[in-house]
Chains A and B, each alone.
With several copies, the nearest count.
Chain A
Amino acid sequence: MADYTTQELMVSRAAKELKNGDVVFVGIGVPSLAVNLAHRMHAPGLCMIYESGAVGCVPKRLPISIGDPCLVTGSLAVVPMLDVFNLYLQRGLIDVGFLGGAQVDRFGNINSTVIGDYRKPKVRLPGSGGACEIAALAKRVVITIGNSKRTMPERVDFITSPGYLGGGREREALGLKGGPELVITDMGVYRFDPRTRELVLVSIHPGITVEKIQENIGWKVKVASDLTETPPPGPEEIRIIRQELDPQGIFLKSKAV
């Protein structure tokens, strides 16, 4: 059995989604690892921006929070958050935003606010932070989440960050551009049907079956006619992830699938 973890596979798949020259709004964990991997592999011209205001970061260690001092030292620019949101995000300079959450639904809407009722929460989650504006204003959005009936219900309890809302042209009708283009889970990769805007399974990870995925999602999932297997990370990618990006295995704990 191949020597890589599911998270490493997700990181490598997410990295492949980034083009050289992309300006990327980075979050902590898998997104941060993916962006740093792409930066070292095929996208040296990629520009990392953190919502904390650090631009063009070259972190000398794995950042623990989006405001880690290692993001500032040696960066190309540090700007007020007012500029991050007005001049970078709203102005349209951000090519790719990474988002996660507690729930992602059939149309790519994300919930990171509350499980249950907003006023009487079962579980109160952190809330939007910058997620809502990234979902609304970045050109492309890549989502990472666990594949389960709990985390991928047909409809999220609360739309924190708008995807395609009810599907079809609902998002465009509200004047929103962009939108999610890819969802990467621990079992497979989804894109969005250009017409219905519904999630479509386009690749499954090695060892996973379509049945397994159907058991772990909240609706009858659409499957692409040209369904493929997600390419596993190459040895160089694994080396970079383990030796350079997360040597202490802070985010990518287990080394066995």
Chain B
Amino acid sequence: MSKVMTMKDAIARFVRDGDLVVLEGFTHLIPFAAGHEIIRQRKRDLTIARLTPDLVYDQLIAAGCARKLIFSWAGNPGVGPLHGFRRAVEQGKPRPLEIEEYTHFGMVLRFMAGASNLPFLPTRNYPGTDLLRYNPDIRKVKSPYSDEELYCVPALNPDVTIVHAQRADADGNTQVWGLYGVQKEASFASRKVIVTVEEIVESSVIRSDPNRTLLPAPVVSAVVHAPFGAHPSFVQGAYDRDNDFYVKWDTVSRDEAGVQAYLDEWVHGVPDRAAYTKKMEARRRELEADRQMCAPVNYGF
């Protein structure tokens, strides 16, 4: 059964004010187009979780969509701080932002526990860090096989997780290559999953290489066709990371006016990602990926 719908409909239907929302993708495949639609629809009081808030959450925070952030590294990768995040945490602008902080390993385990329908997962991490003094949810569990005590983290089960991928079929069978991040764990942990893709393909394409499937149809609620939907992040085999934009954001986001101007032009000023892409067609061409095809393999018997 086809789950294809527009970004507008998918966000309107599956993201409600107050939800726990996850937009995942570790530097790769960050669903910016979905983030912009959330801002455009002026969703409010969201709890947003992500290992690296990155620019996509810096924008959500600066736009006033979020009341709480669950994260493990809040910076502009390779550039510097996230000014929107810092303004919210240090000055409460545009609104105070509650934070719940883990480490990358902790966040990955929280998603995996949620995806496995377990209350927690253990780790050998955490002895000695001051994070323990400020996060009471990193607790101890005793091994039933020795006197060992380990730390553990609680499951995280989002209301909705949004991921971007190279391709999916209309039913939602989704394939990804290049960096995997934690999209599989976050999606299985989630009550609803929106997949935005560069390309909607026939199921026969998916079936030609089943080992590449990251998400099966049963966990996917909506499939959105959103080419260039990860810009300014990247899509392996489609377009490069727009490092200049990440550098530019450091200036743009230094004050609220700068962010507002950006949102007015690139989010509220365009109806959707197609218009956004048209508006930067020249840049899009510059970022187009070279071809470096993999050696095909045989699935016959």
Contacts and interface: CB of A to CB of B under 8 A. Distances in A.
A–B touching in complex (CB under 8 Å): yes
Nearest to B124: A90
Interface stretch (A68-76, A140-148, A201-209, A221-229): A68-76
Interface string A114-152: 000011010111111111110011000000000000000
B130 interface: yes
B277 interface: no
A127 B26 contact: no
A129 B26 CA distance: 12
Given A47-B218, A93-B219, A133 B104 contact: yes
A80 B211 CA distance: 9
Contact of A73 (B27, B71, B292): B292
Interface string B164-198: 00000000010001111110110010000000000
Given A75-B210, A93-B219, A133-B104, A52 B127 contact: no
Residue of A21, A28, A66 with highest tally of chain B CB at under 10 A: A66
A72 B72 contact: no
Given A65-B241, A73-B301, A128 B81 contact: no
Contacts of B185: 80, 82
Contact of A69 (B28, B115, B118): B28
A247 interface: no
Contacts of B116: 86-87, 90-91
A137 to B, nearest CB: 7
Give the interface SS of chain A, mostly helix, strand, loop or mixed: loop
Contact of B299 (A73, A90, A129, A161): A73
B257 to A, nearest CB: 21
Nearest to B102: A128
B211 A78 contact: yes
A69 B241 contact: yes
A85 B103 CA distance: 11
B207 interface: yes
B71 A76 contact: no
B181 A91 contact: no
Given A67-B179, A76-B173, A136-B125, A130 B105 contact: yes
Given A126-B74, A137-B125, A78 B134 contact: no
Contact of A132 (B71, B131, B181): B131
A100 B208 CA distance: 33
B89 A78 contact: no
Nearest to B112: A82
Given A82-B108, A93-B219, A175-B127, A65 B27 contact: yes
B173 A129 contact: no
A53 interface: yes
Contacts of B109: 82, 85
Interface string A40-52: 0000010100011
Contact of B243 (A23, A55, A64, A175): A64
B6 interface: no
A81 B182 contact: yes
Given A77-B216, A78-B210, A90-B116, A128 B104 contact: yes
Nearest to A129: B73
Interface of B: 1, 26-28, 51-52, 71-75, 77-78, 81-82, 85-86, 89-90, 101-105, 108-109, 112, 115-118, 123-131, 133-134, 148, 173, 177-182, 184-185, 188, 203, 206-208, 210-211, 213, 216-219, 234, 236, 240-241, 243, 246, 289, 292, 299-301
27 contacts: A53-B180, A53-B181, A56-B207, A64-B78, A65-B78, A65-B246, A69-B236, A73-B300, A73-B301, A74-B208, A76-B213, A76-B216, A78-B178, A87-B115, A87-B188, A90-B125, A91-B188, A92-B117, A118-B133, A124-B74, A124-B85, A126-B81, A129-B103, A133-B125, A162-B128, A174-B127, A175-B127
